[in-house]
Amino acid sequence: MSAVPRQPRSSLLLVACLALLIACHIDIAPLTVEWDQDPSTLIIEADTFGGLVPQTQALNHIPDARIWGDGRIVWVERHADAGRNVWQGQLSQQALIKLASFIIEEGFFDWQTHYQPADPPPDMPTSHISVYLADRSKTVSQYFALRQAQDDGGAPAGFWRIYDQIKTEPDGEPLVPQRGWLRAWPQDANASADEARPWPVDAGVTLSEVAVAGRWIEEPLITLVWDALNQSGGYSSTRAVFQEEEKIYSLTLQIPGISLHEP
């Protein structure tokens, strides 16, 4: 009788492991991420705002980063001199899948919905991240948006990793709005005329009219206001103040689909 060949031990071990995986029904498929791909559907947002801010600042505020279902992204680069740049770009589907997978793997959907340190000061801003996927949606926020350790009541460290990843700047170009809702807000009489720009006499609309009721504006007027606001960071402070005759106004410009507060 001939001897039966012995199976190598490594082969037997591999067979056993495969059998165990099949028996336990272990799902080894890659993570599946789906979302509404409609260009008008917001799927990811990261922003820091709130607290005691004037109405003009609130109306001019644009969130730090927003991503829509087709991959369009708008983000704001803020400068130390209070200026800002507003950019727009396009993320590929692969880039969106990678970002959404990163958010899930950081544990975002397992976190609390709100964090704040013990005894925080009043009237401070709140940072938040919102994610809207096909099978799950969530917003996680942190009041008093300093990057505290979690032991101090702050959000998990992954919160800021996600926040920074969302704001990672892709290739983009300056956002140039085509249409916006303009309002003019009379300034205190003590405001210095030396700090104000002259309002064009051929603008087609007076600031006194816009102060009573807002008005939609387009090119070329919108570029004048938009550039002034970008230089002021959207605060409507010195560099976004205009003078008409003897009166001085601070301007707000709300862009549909872009501004935090829709016109």
Residue 167 has a pLDDT of 86
Q: Is residue 159 part of a domain?
A: yes
Total tally of structural domains belonging to the chain: 2
Q: Is residue 31 part of a domain?
A: no
Domain boundary among 173, 192, 213: 173
Domain boundary pick from 143, 173, 203: 173
Give me the pLDDT at residue 239, please.
83
Same structural domain, 56 and 164: yes
Is the residue at 259 inside a domain? Answer: no
Please tell me whether residues 164 and 51 are part of one structural domain. Answer: yes
Confidence at residue 12, expressed as pLDDT on a 0 to 100 scale: 39
Residue 260 in any domain: the answer is no
The predicted structure's pLDDT at residue 148:
53
pLDDT of residue 16: 41
Token pair 């993320």 in the structure block, residue? 91
- Dihedral of CA 236/237/240/241: which sign? positive
Kindly report the CA angle at 86 between 80 and 91, in degrees rounded to 5? 125
Q: Are 108 and 130 a contacting pair, CB within 8 Å?
A: no
Rounded mean pLDDT for each run of 10 residues along the chain, 263 residues in total: 46 43 49 92 96 92 97 94 93 95 97 90 94 97 72 83 88 94 87 80 94 95 96 86 92 96 92
Whether 152 and 232 share a structural domain: no
Tell me the C-alpha to C-alpha distance, in Å, between residue 181 and each of 73, 162, 252. 22, 32, 8
Give the domain range for residue 249: 177-254
In this prediction, residue 105 carries a pLDDT of 96
| First-to-final CA distance of the chain | 92
End of a domain among 121, 142, 173? 173
90 shares its domain with 168: yes
Alpha-carbon span 116 to 203, nearest angstrom: 47
- Which two tokens mark 129? 């991240």
Same domain, 75 and 159: yes
**The amino acid at 6:** R
Is residue 13 domain-resident? no
Residues 192 and 95 in one domain: no
Q: Report how far Cα 32 is from the mean position of its chain's Cα atoms.
A: 24
